[in-house]
Amino acid sequence: MCGIAGLIHRGGKTADVGREMTAMLQSLKHRGPDSTGFALYGKPDKNKLVLRFKVAEQEDIAKGFKIHHEIKERRAEVNRRIEQLGGKIEDEKEATEYAFRYVVSYDGDRRALADFVEDVEGAEFLSIGHGLELIKDLGDANRVSTQYGLPGFIGTHGIGHTRMATESDVDIRSAHPYWAYPFADVSVVHNGQLTNYWNGRRALERRGHRFMSNCDSELIAVYLADKMEEGAELQDAMKESIRELDGVFTYLVATADRLGMAKDEMAAKPMVLYESDDFIGLASEEVAIRSVFPHEIHTFDPYEGEVRVWKA
């Protein structure tokens, strides 16, 4: 089933999007209790990159004492590789024992950075961005949010996902959102199934893109990244996706200053939309929007094949 949600404060306004997204996703827990993920957008700093990455899975921690030592070794190797490519680590925090948040000065090729660092065993970038911070882990929204200290995250917008694992494993790698490698600040959450996943994946792999999971939702992120790499605007890439991606889906995509939604031609997956001059809220169920706006609001369902994009 899965639940997705997103919000954007318009006109450059900021708010505690960490707390708002936590409330929205917690109210969608019944749609997917396996894992929860957030893509939150703070004020972008053009001179710095925020790296969110992990060097192990949560389940690895339970497998023995050796992993603790390995995590330290892997992290040291990640640091060495970032510096080898000319990056300067300005700040580093442990979100959990196996997941980290770095602020880095780096003006080189992001794809080269991602590829080089992800060569370290267990290492995977959850996101690279100037404003984006992508957090995902096993458990419900309250648990993940508390674990990673998300309440108090001030930003303009965010998207999130509660996952009920169907076609792939219950692990962080298969959790949403997906970062649209190698684009900074682009993330995707998805509710549905893609039936041409393997064909699409093979085609994109031949074009040099990498996939970190076997989850069909990752295809959307990489697909959009590929289109934008060719110069397409976000909205055009999304419209093209409606035609080229096969299956039933509703997805949300966010960039540094935009939030978008797309619904397949069958309109088989739900989405409720609340739109005002100051705020846009979207979710699989209205209860999620009500967790931010408890009073009566005017909401509606977007239609089949519909693509919308809003600016912060």
Residues with a known catalytic role: 2
SS3 assignment for 75-132: HHHHHHHHHHCCCEEEEEEECCCCEEEEEEECCCCHHHHHHHHCCCCCCEEEEEECCE
Quick one: 139 or 305, whose CB is closer to another protein?
305
Quick one: 60 or 306, whose CB is closer to another protein?
306
Quick one: 118 or 140, whose CB is closer to another protein?
140
274-278 contact pairs (CB < 8 A, 24+):
274/298, 274/299, 277/10, 277/11, 278/9, 278/10, 278/11, 278/13
Nearest distance in Å: CB 253, another protein: 21
Quick one: 204 or 282, whose CB is closer to another protein?
282
Q: Is 65 in the site for another protein (CB under 8 A)?
A: no
Q: Which helix (H) or strand (E) holds 73?
A: helix 66-84
Q: Which residue has the tokens 């199934």?
A: 193
Quick one: 65 or 303, whose CB is closer to another protein?
303
- Residues 307 and 261: their CA atoms lie apart, in Å, by 6
Q: Find the length of the chain.
A: 312
- Residues 197 and 92: their CA atoms lie apart, in Å, by 36
Quick one: 118 or 264, whose CB is closer to another protein?
264
Interface residues for another protein in 293-312 (CB under 8 A)?
294, 296, 298-301, 303-304
DSSP state of 177: P
Q: Quote the tokens at residue 79.
A: 């640091």
Nearest distance in Å: CB 248, another protein: 11
- Residues 78 and 279: their CA atoms lie apart, in Å, by 39
Residue 228's closest CA among 176, 174, 184, 175? 184
Nearest distance in Å: CB 60, another protein: 37
Interface residues for another protein in 230-289 (CB under 8 A)?
265-268, 270, 272, 285-287, 289
Nearest distance in Å: CB 11, another protein: 26
Q: Total number of residues binding another protein (CB under 8 A)?
A: 19
Nearest distance in Å: CB 299, another protein: 6
Residue 114's closest CA among 99, 96, 129? 129
Quick one: 55 or 307, whose CB is closer to another protein?
307
8 A C-beta contact, residue 37 and residue 22: no
Nearest distance in Å: CB 195, another protein: 18
Q: Which residue has the tokens 């894992």?
A: 35
Nearest distance in Å: CB 296, another protein: 6
- Residues 24 and 254: their CA atoms lie apart, in Å, by 17
Residues near another protein (CB under 8 A) are 265-268, 270, 272, 285-287, 289-290, 294, 296, 298-301, 303-304
